[in-house]
Amino acid sequence: MVKDVITINKEADIKEAIRLMEKYSIRHLPVVEGDQFLGLVTEGDLRQLLIPAILEEIKVKDVMITDPITVTPDTDIETAATLIYTYKIGGLPVVDDGKLVGILTSTDILRAFVEIMGILTAGSRLDVVIRDDPVAFKEVYNIIHRHKGRIVSLGILPDEKETIYSFRLERCDLEPIVEELISQGYKVVANFP
């Protein structure tokens, strides 16, 4: 989450909210009074109000979302991602005991998943069909390990017919791993150097 959050007071006018969003290139503006979180104004909310003649008469309190979906500092990343996806929102205020302590955006969540999965590190990827059997998983792991493959992350790809495990490895020669997997009866769906 971003901890140094740009905020606005509920009595500020819409021009000030737009100015802050433009100045800091942000799309979500938490509304606070002192250190108490009151609501949220989004770029989408303000886009509807861009009639200059009435901007000075409208206050932030007139357009803010007074009961936005929020998370706490202890909310896990999966729950936050699910909330953003389910409610189709771009950000979540992080509130602790009524006080705003940060904001978590869809970009922050994407960055966390990219880091968790090691996507930006140079590496290799190996997708293998593994039957639902712990012994089979251990055997695939041992084959990778035997050929000096180091697993960076592991994911399960959605497929209706089979379970496909996607191994992200530190960059290595995949050919001997693939050959042994196939010789042991495993189906290698994809491999990328």
Domains along the sequence of the chain with CATH: 14-113 (3.10.580.10), 119-192 (3.30.70.260)
CA–CA separation, 156 and 154 (whole Å): 7
* Choice between 78 and 47, residue whose per-residue pLDDT is larger: 78
In the predicted structure, residue 174 carries a pLDDT above the cut 50:
yes
Residues 100-109: tens digit of each pLDDT: 999 999 999 9
Which stretch, 11-15, 117-121, 165-169, has highest mean pLDDT?
165-169
* Choice between 71 and 15, residue whose per-residue pLDDT is larger: 71
Confidence tier at 53 by pLDDT (50, 70, 90): very low
Longest pairwise C-alpha distance within the chain = 74
Residues 32-51: tens digit of each pLDDT: 999 899 999 999 888 777 66
CA–CA separation, 6 and 29 (whole Å): 7
